[in-house]
Amino acid sequence: MDKQLLSDLIAFTGIETQFTDAWGNQSEVAEKNLLTLLSAQGFTVDNDALAREQLIERQQDHWEQLLDPVSVQKSGQDTQIELKLPIAVANTVLELVLTTEQGKTHSFSLTPTEDAELNQVMVFDGEEYQQYQWTLPVLLELGYHKLSLALGGSEWIQSLIITPSSCFQPAEFKKQKQWGVSVQLYCVRSEQNWGIGDFSDLRFLLGHLAKQGADFVGLNPIHALYPAMPESASPYSPSSRRWLNIIYLAVPEIVGFEQCQQVKQLIDAPGFKQQLAAARATKWVDYTAVTRLKLPVLKALYQWFIEHQTEHTELAEAFSVFKQQSGESLLQLALYDAIHAHFIQNDSNAWGWPVWPDAWQKTDSDEVLAFAKEHAHELDFYCYLQFVAHQQLAKAQSFAKDQGMLLGLYRDLAVGVSEASTEIWANPDLYCRGASVGAPPDILGPKGQNWGLPPMLPYQMFQQAYRPMIDLFRANMQNSGALRIDHVMALLRLWWVPKGADSAGEGAYIYYPIQDLLGILALESHRHQVVVIGEDLGTVPEGIREILGEYGMYSYRVFFFEKAEDGGYVSPAHYPVQAMATLTTHDMPTLIGYWHCDDLNLGKEVGLYQEHQLPALFQSRHEDKQKILNSLHGHQMLAPEFSHNVDQVGMSTELSFAIQRHVAKASSQLLCLQLEDWMEMTQPVNIPGTSDEYPNWRRKLTMTLEQLTQQENVNLLLQDLTRLRRS
C-alpha cells in the first residue's frame, strides 16, 4: 500500500504503530498487522484506489454534519460550539436552539463569518467546507443538554455534555482509610444457597464484615450471561453489561415462594433435594445443575406473581415502572434470551446470534418481531427476573449502608461483551467483529491474551453520542458505592487482535477519546455518588495514571508488583493515597499459591510456559519471596525469632496474616483483600490466557460463609485491619 495512504488511514482510525511493552522495550507493529486491522474496519487494503475512496467518503460524511453528534466539555469554562459548513452557507444567518437538561430553552442567531472564528478548511470533490468555532453566550450547568440547528429542511442535533473535572469522592475519605474484601459471588458456599453464591449470601457477608469494621464488599462482574447456555460462565464475557446475571437470584426470597403450590411440588419432588445437595457439595460450580434447579422454580414464581398481582399491587406497579424506565434495552435482552432458548433446544451448537439463520440475526426482522409477539409472556418472564434481581441487589446495598458501611457494594465493569452477546446483536454497527480485545505479552500473560470480545469502534461511539457508554456507566453505578473499571486503559486505548491471528501478539493499540469518556464517567460518578477505581495493571502507557489521577480515579496497586528500582518491595506506607492497595487479584494466585509457586507449576501444565522458561521464573520467585520476608522483618511485621531465610519458610497462617497486616498499613485510601486468603486456599479462580485448559470461573471457596464467621483467628485479623486502617 502507498505509504502516505497507509499513514492517512492509520491516523483516521487511531492505530498506534509503536508502543512500549510491559518490560519497557519499544515495539513496532508489523505492517501486515496494520493492514489486517484496517481491513477489519472495512477498508479494502489490497486496492489503493478503493481504500482512498473509502477514506475520503468517511471523512466527507463527518464534514457534512453541520453539528457533531456530541460534544463533551468541562464546567466552569466557556462552552465552544463547532460548526462545519459548506462555504455557500457560511454567510447565512443560522438559528440554533439550546434546550438544557433543566428544561430551559435558549435561541441564538449568528452569521458564522461575522460572529465565529474560522479554524479549519477542507475540500471534497471541489466543494469547500469551513469549520467555525463559536462561544455559547450561556453558562451551562452540569448535565446533558441538546443543541439543534435547522437548515434547508434538515436538522442536526448535538448532545452537549457538561461534566465536572473529577469523579466523586466521599467527604469521609478525609477522615479515615477504608478497607474491604473482594469476592467472586459464584464461588460462595453457604448452607442456604442452591449450589452457587446468591444475593442472600451477599447480604449475609455484608452483615458479618460490617460488624468487623469493613467498608465494602467488591464483586466480580455480575453482568447478564446466557440462561440457555449456563456453562458460558466467564463474568468477563457477558451478554449484556447493562443487566444482571439471574443465576444469582436467591430463589426462596422471591414473593410467592411459600405460597405457590407448583413451587412446593417442584422442591418436594423426588430427587430435587438430592440434586440440590449435590450442587452445594461440588468442588466446582456446576452451572448447568444450578440452572436446572432454579429456572423451573423461577418460572413457577413468575406465573404465581402474574396470577396474584391484585394482592401485590405495590410490587406489580413497581414492575410496570421498571419495564417502562428500562426501555428497549431490557426488551432486547428478554427477546434474545427467549430466542436463544428456542434455538438451543433443537441445536446445541446454536451458541449465539452469529450462527442463527440470517433472518434472526437482525432485531427488527419480520421473523424476530413475530416471535416477540407470539412469545410476549416468555419475554415478560425474563423482564421479571431482571426486576427481581435489581430488587435483591438494591436490598443488599441498602442493608450494607444501614449496617454502617461507607461504600457497601463495589461493582466491577467488564471491558467488553462476547461476540454472541445481546449488546452486539442489538447494536451491530457499534462493534468491529473482525477483531477481538486482548493484551500484548506481559507479566500476567507471557503469550499475550485474546479475550474474544469484539471492540467498540471509536468513530461509531462518537456517532452514537456516547449513549452506549453513558448507559453502561449508569447501569453499573446503580446500587453501589464504588465501581471498578476493568482494564481502565481501555478508555485511552485497546489492544485489537485481528480475527484469525496466530497469536495475540499480532495486534496493535487503537485509541479512544479518553477525555470525553472520563468526563462522562465523572458526571455519572457524581450523580450516583460512586467512587471510581481504575484497574491499571499490565502494559500501562506513559502518562495514563496521571490523567486518571487528575480525574479523581483511584489507581490499583498490587503488593507483588510494587517494586523499587533496586528490586526490593516498596513500603506500603509509600503507596499513592489515591489508590486501592491489594495483595492479589482474580487473575493471580492466592497467597499460598504464590508462595508455593503453584501458579508456575499450573502454567507449565496448561502450556503457558515452556520448559526452558521455568528455571528463571522459579529463581525470580525465590528471590522475590526473600525480599518480601526481608521487608516484613524490616517493618517489624514478624516476630524476631521468625526465620529470616526463605528456604526455611513455607506459607503459614502467621506469615499470611503478617503480609495482610503489612499491606493494611498502606497509605492508600482503599484496601481490598480476598476471602480465599482468609481460608488459606491454594487454587486460583482464573488463569489468564487459558480457556478449556483450566476450569476458570468455577472453583468454589473451601468454607461456607457460616463456617467463616466462626473462625476466631480470622475475626481477630479483621479487627486488626480495622484498627490499622483507622489509626
Range 81-102 average pLDDT: 95
560 lies in some domain:
no
Asked whether residue 334 falls in the same domain as residue 448, the answer is: yes
Q: Is the dihedral of CA 486, 488, 493, 495 positive or negative?
A: negative
Q: So what's the pLDDT on residue 361?
A: 97
Instruction: State the SS3 of 108-172.
Output: EEECHHHHCEEEEEEEECCEEEEEEEEECCCCCCCEEEEEEEEECCEEEEEEEEEECCCCCCCHH
Same-domain check for residues 81 and 15: no
In a shared domain, residues 58 and 84: no
Domain match, 321 and 253 both: yes
- Answer with the one of 144, 163, 182 that is the final residue of a domain: 163
Say yes or no to pLDDT of 351 above 70.
Answer: yes
| Per-residue model confidence (pLDDT) at position 444 | 62
Q: What is the pLDDT of residue 152?
A: 87
Distances (CA, A) of 376 to 163, 287, 369, 677, 679: 40, 27, 10, 47, 46
Do 224 and 264 lie in one domain? The reply is: yes
Q: What is the grid cell recorded at 493? A: 486505548
pLDDT at 456 over 90: yes
Q: Is the pTM value of this prediction over 0.75?
A: yes
Rounded to an integer, the average pLDDT of 65-74 is 97
Return the sign of the alpha-carbon dihedral for residues 586, 592, 595, 599: negative
Domain end (from 163, 192, 225): 163
Whether the pLDDT of residue 23 is over 90: the answer is no
237 shares its domain with 218: yes
- Percent of the chain at pLDDT exceeding 70: 100
Residue 669, C-alpha cell as written in the block: 485510601
Tens of pLDDT, residue by residue over 534-570, are 998 877 888 889 999 999 999 999 999 999 988 899 9
Pair 211, 405: CB distance under 8 Å: no
Q: Which of 39, 62, 85 is the last residue of a domain?
A: 62
The whole domain housing 11 covers 3-62
DSSP 300-331: HHHHHHHHTGGG-HHHHHHHHHHHHHHHHHHH
Q: Is residue 645 part of a domain?
A: no
Each residue's pLDDT tens digit, 353-387: 999 999 999 999 999 999 999 999 999 999 999 99
Please report the beta strands in 529-641, taking only residues with DSSP state E, as ranges in sequence order: 531-534, 555-558, 579-582
What pLDDT, on the 0 to 100 scale, is given for residue 585?
93
Q: How many C-beta atoms surround the C-beta of residue 186 within 10 A?
A: 24
Tell which residue, 344, 331, 339, has the closest CA to residue 231.
344
- Do 252 and 313 share a domain, yes or no? yes
pLDDT digits (tens, 9 = 90+) for 208-244: 999 999 999 999 999 999 999 999 999 999 999 999 9
Using an 8 Å Cβ cutoff, are 177 and 671 in contact?
yes
Q: Which of 92, 82, 85 is nearest to 128 (CA)?
A: 85
- pLDDT band for position 597 (cuts 50, 70, 90): very high
Place of cell 446495598: 397
Q: Tell me the three cell numbers of residue 645.
A: 531465610
Give 513's contacts (C-beta < 8 A, 6+ positions apart).
458, 461, 462
Grid cell at residue 59: 471523512
**Host H or E run for residue 617:** helix 614-634
DSSP state of 540: P
Query: For residue 481, which of 364, 379, 401 has the smallest C-alpha distance?
Result: 401
Q: Are residues 196 and 130 in the same domain?
A: no
At 405-416, the pLDDT tens digits run 999 999 999 999
For CA atoms 132, 137, 142, 143, give the dihedral sign: negative
Does residue 602 belong to any structural domain of this protein?
no
Three-state SS letters, 629-655:
HHHHHHCCCCCCCCCCCHHHCCCCHHH
CA distance 671 to 665: 9
Span 571-576, average pLDDT: 96
Q: How many domains does the chain have?
A: 3
CA distances from 85 to 89, 118, 133, 459, 468 (A): 6, 11, 11, 20, 28
- No. of H helices and E strands in the chain? 23, 25
CATH number at 84 reads 2.60.40
Mean per-residue pLDDT of the chain: 95
What pLDDT, on the 0 to 100 scale, is given for residue 270?
86
| Position 663 in a domain | no
Residue 379: which residues within 8 A CB-CB, separation 6 or more?
331, 334, 335, 338, 372
Going by C-beta distance under 8 Å and a sequence separation of 6 or more, which residues neighbour residue 615?
none
Mean pLDDT lowest among 346-355, 429-438, 541-550, 693-702: 541-550
CA atoms within 13 Å, Cβ hemisphere of 521: 24
Residue 97 has pLDDT above 70, yes or no: yes
Minimal CA–CA distance to 70: which of 463, 429, 518, 470? Answer: 463
Q: At what angle do helices 598-605 and 614-634 cross, to 10 degrees?
A: 160
- Give me the pLDDT at residue 43, please: 96
The pLDDT of residue 412: 97
Quick check: 439 pLDDT over 90? no
- Domain match, 13 and 119 both: no
pLDDT confidence of 446, banded at 50, 70, 90?
confident
Can you give the CATH number for the domain in which 251 is found?
3.20.20.80
Q: If we measure between CA atoms, which residue out of 569, 561, 534 comes closest to residue 549?
A: 534
Instruction: Report the chain's terminal Cα–Cα distance, integer Å.
Output: 64
Beta-sheet pairing, 80-86 with 579-582: unpaired
CA neighbor of 490 nearest in space, from 583, 413, 409: 413
Helix (H, G, I), strand (E, B) or coil at 230: coil
Cα 615-621-623 angle, rounded to 5 deg: 105
> Mean pLDDT lowest for which of 411-415, 436-440, 722-726?
436-440
Overall average pLDDT of the 425-451 stretch: 88
Instruction: Please give the grid coordinates belonging to residue 400.
Output: 450494607
Name residues whose C-beta falls within 8 Å of residue 213's C-beta, 6 or more positions apart in sequence.
179, 718, 719, 721, 722, 725, 726
608-611 contacts at long range (C-beta below 8 A, 24 or more positions apart): 608/445, 608/446, 608/447, 608/687, 608/689, 608/690, 609/446
Q: Cα separation of 616 and 589, whole Å?
A: 18
Each residue of 268-279: pLDDT tens digit? 998 999 999 999
Mean pLDDT of 119-143: 94
Q: Is the pLDDT of residue 724 over 70?
A: yes
Other CB atoms closer than 10 Å to residue 417's CB: what's the count?
26
CB atoms within 10 A of CB 445: 21
Residue 56 lies in a domain: yes
- Cα 423 from Cα 472, distance rounded (Å): 11
Both 37 and 131 in a single domain? no
Domain membership flag for residue 588: no
Q: Is residue 707 part of a domain?
A: yes
Residue 39 vs residues 47, 234, 501, 508: alpha-carbon distances, Å = 11, 29, 13, 13
88 and 219 share one domain: no
Has residue 231 been placed in a domain?
yes
CB neighbour burial string for 244-254, b if at least 16 within 10 angstroms, e if fewer: bbbbbbbbbbb
pLDDT of amino acid 223: 98
Orientation angle between helical segments 272-281 and 287-307, nearest 10 degrees: 130
- Whether residue 431 has pLDDT greater than 80: yes
Residue 485 shares a structural domain with residue 468? yes
